[in-house]
């Protein structure tokens, strides 16, 4: 983890040196999508809705290149089928899905190339990475010890999980006007949430407005 943080710091230093004369735009961003958990140990994870809101910034460089970053609040969810809760909050086999919901503060950094077309929306492609900090982890589902089953929620002890997540991302979209853009972005975490090698993947539809 320390090695990855050093790489991020180095990239930020290089970005700072390269954008001293660049044009910088700041705006707001929001998006919806689907997210899911992945693990080599489990096969019953299903996708669920997710959303993102936050600030975005675009730093224009030369030759249609730019750097895109920001600060986002993300809610990522996933479903796990055929489980119920026991009295101590553990999972037991059952007939109902369990919904996992996490909250993150995320710092994305991507390099972007824009294919500028006169009088038409401009296409862009981008790729990079992100650093996320886990703020909450909640499981919700139905009990296995009541009849009929009752809805219940458990907030997990965050000390059982790795709070920092590093990942890679890629995507593309269109610049509708100089201050409006829409796009798709695919994110994959390559650090796990815990010792079971569970991590999140998510696909986002994003809309940004620059001031």
Tally of residues, the chain? 211
Task: Give 64's DSSP letter.
Answer: T
pLDDT digits (tens, 9 = 90+) for 136-157: 998 776 655 555 556 667 777 8
Mean pLDDT rounded to a whole number for the chain: 82
Q: Round to whole Å and give the CA distance between 120 and 124.
A: 13
Q: How confident is the model at residue 94, as a pLDDT?
A: 54
Six-digit token pair at 48? 């669920």
Six-digit token pair at 132? 């996320």
pLDDT digits (tens, 9 = 90+) for 163-208: 999 999 999 999 987 789 999 999 999 888 887 788 899 999 999 9
Does the pLDDT value for residue 121 go beyond 60?
yes
Q: Round to whole Å and give the CA distance between 1 and 45.
A: 26
The tokens 């950094």 sit on which residue?
109
pLDDT digits (tens, 9 = 90+) for 123-136: 999 999 999 999 99
Does the pLDDT value for residue 44 go beyond 60?
yes
Going by their DSSP bridges, the two strands 91-93 and 180-189 should be labelled as: unpaired
């Amino acid at each position: 983890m320390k090695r990855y943080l050093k790489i991020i710091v180095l990239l930020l230093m290089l970005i700072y040196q390269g954008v001293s004369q660049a044009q910088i735009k700041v705006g707001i961003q929001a998006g919806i999508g689907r997210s899911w958990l992945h693990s080599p140990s489990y096969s019953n994870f299903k996708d669920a809705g997710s959303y993102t809101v936050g600030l975005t910034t675009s730093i224009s460089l030369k030759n249609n290149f730019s750097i895109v970053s920001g600060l986002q609040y993300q809610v990522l969810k996933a479903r796990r089928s055929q489980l119920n809760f026991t009295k101590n909050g553990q999972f037991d086999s059952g007939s109902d899905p369990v919904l996992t919901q996490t909250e993150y503060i995320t710092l994305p950094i991507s390099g972007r190339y824009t294919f500028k077309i006169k009088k038409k929306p401009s296409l862009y492609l981008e790729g990079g990475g992100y650093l996320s900090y886990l703020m909450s982890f909640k499981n919700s589902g139905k009990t296995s010890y009541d009849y009929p089953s009752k809805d219940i929620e458990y907030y997990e002890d965050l000390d059982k999980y790795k709070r920092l997540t590093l990942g890679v991302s890629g995507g593309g979209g269109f610049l509708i006007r100089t201050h409006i853009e829409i796009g798709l972005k695919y994110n994959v975490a390559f650090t796990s949430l815990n010792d079971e090698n569970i991590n999140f993947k998510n696909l986002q539809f994003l809309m940004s407005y620059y001031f």
